[in-house]
Every structure is written in structure tokens, then in C-alpha cells.
Structure 1
Amino acid sequence: MPSQSNQAMLDKVAVSLEASKGVFVVDYQGLSVKETQEVRRALTAAGAHMKVYKNNIVKIALKNAEMPQIDEQLSGTCAYVFYEKDPVDAAKVIKEQSEKLKKMAFVGGIADGKALSAENAQAYADLPSREELLAKLVYVIGSPLSGIAQVCAGPARGLATALQAVADQKNAA
């Protein structure tokens, strides 16, 4: 029979999994308390939160939630980053903090309903954010429209230039 504290932790993990769209697993070995607080603040701003749970409890919670199993990744000092919105935003924060502190690294995770290796989790951090993709989409849609507008305005611009030239000739004479 599991201890009451382990059962409470299992319930917390289950709630975190249910409220999130996915999770990244990071190795946080060597982080000081101050550095950990800094990482957590940055993740909160990105719509994610970092928790530390026992690896075996997380394995059980993932199995109970019928999520992809990432058992081989859950060993050592693991922290779990649960994100509610965009996995790219959370991954970018993890990458920035790991480059800044040189003490964190991706171990794996679950995103879009699939298990991720450390390399795949890192690849999420290299993707453009949702806002960047939307800006590129607007540019791609707007480019042909501005070209069409310039082509349509060409004859009118040419006529205006010709009339101005005639007016200048008459004024000069």
C-alpha cells in the first residue's frame, strides 16, 4: 500500500498533467535555489511551471493518464516543466536558461501527444514562436497584394508624371 505522501504527490502530478498540454523533462542538477526561482519566474511568464516530483510517481501518473511512456528518460535529478499553451514558448525559456546558467539540459518530454527525446525537445526550442509564424504569414499574404496595388497604380502614376511634364514645359515656355 502506498504511503499517504506518495499518494498526495501522485494526485498533484495527475492534476498538473490534466491541466497541461504536455511536459518537458529537464535535468536541473547543480542549480541553486536562487537560480531555480529565476527559471520558475521565466517559465511562469511563458505560461508554464516547473515542479520536482519523484520519478517513479511521474511514471505511474503518466501510465494512469494514458500518456506516452518516457520511462527511460526519468532517472536522476529531473524537473518537470508543464506548459498550458504553446510548447515552443516553454522550450525557448528552458533553452535560454540552460545557455545562461550552463546547468540545465533537456532530458525529453511529451508534446502533441508524442514522447520526445532530448534532441526533439531541443528542436521545439529552435522553432519560431506562434507570433513569429503569424507575422510571416501576414507578410506572405500581404506581399502579392502590395505588388498588385503597385501595378494597378502604375498607369495613374505614369499619367500624372506625363501631365506634370507637359505643365512644366508650358510654364517654361
Structure 2
Amino acid sequence: MSSIDLSRYEADLAAAEAEVKRLRAENAKLADTYRGDPAEDARELLRRGAASLAAAKGRVEAARVALQIAQKTGSPYGLLARDGHVLGTVAVAIPGGTQSGERTRLIEEALSTELTAAARELGVVLAAPAERYTRERPGRDAEGRTVLDVAGRAEGDVLMPAVSKAAKNTRGS
């Protein structure tokens, strides 16, 4: 395991948690305002505040997972199996202009062993090919590799992809 600077991950987590705390305080003020004057525009502000808070909580969870992966693997890439979910990121060298079938093969080659091990850790088996558990991030990493988010959730005795088909269709493959 190589040594990486965990302080960046810890700072990201602290910033995300601070954002949640700030949004909770703002939402409490909005709720007090709404109780005093239950107008439709105040209700809309409450809805937006709730949506912002939910997104911020998602960022906290993502930062927490990134920190745990960095602690476990010593790199920003890897998978974490916990609480019936597999989460993480992988980097795959996919040359520009690669055909769809070859792209799928490269992802399978890079991910299937680690994903199978994570599923085994949860006591489940894969329900789909490894590529189905991924969503491509925009851009490339410092080494020019394609970065893929990986997500799966245990349902019964199988690990189901937790990446929506709509999210996958928005990537440029």
C-alpha cells in the first residue's frame, strides 16, 4: 500500500460536514419564518432548503467513503463494501476512439476481480457484468485514465448495480 496524504480527504470531509451544519441552521430559520407566515413562496424556500441539505448529506457520505478508501488502499481508487453496498472508484486506461465492446472488456478486466471480492465480502454474488456497476466521471485523472464511479447494493443474495440507466446514458462513450 502506497502512502498518500490523507489530510486532503479529511479536509474535504470536514468541509462537507460544515456545509451540512450551515444548511441545517439556515433551514431552521426558514422553518421559523414559514411557521410565522405559511405563504407559498416560503414553502418553496423550505423545499429548496431540504433539497440542498439532502445534496450536502450526499457529499458528506461521498467524502467519508473517499477517506475510507484512501485509508484502506493508500490511493484514491478502490472499492468499499459495507452496510449492503459497494462503493468506490476505479481508473481504467481507455484510449480515445475505443469501440464499445473493447471498452466493456477493458472495464471488466480492471474491475471484475475487485468487484467480485467486494460482493463476496457482503456474502452476495454479482447480478450483472462489472461494467454495469459503473458511471464515468467527466475528464481524466492525472495519468490520463478514465475514472469510473462504482456502486452496487445487495438485494437478497445478489449485488445489483446502483447506477441509474439514465446516468449511464449521459456519459460520452
The TM-score, its normalising length taken from structure 1, stands at 0.21
Q: Which structure has more RCO (C-alpha within 8 Å, separation ≥ 6)?
A: 1
Higher strand share: 2
Task: Flag the structure with larger Rg.
Answer: 1
Higher helix share: 1
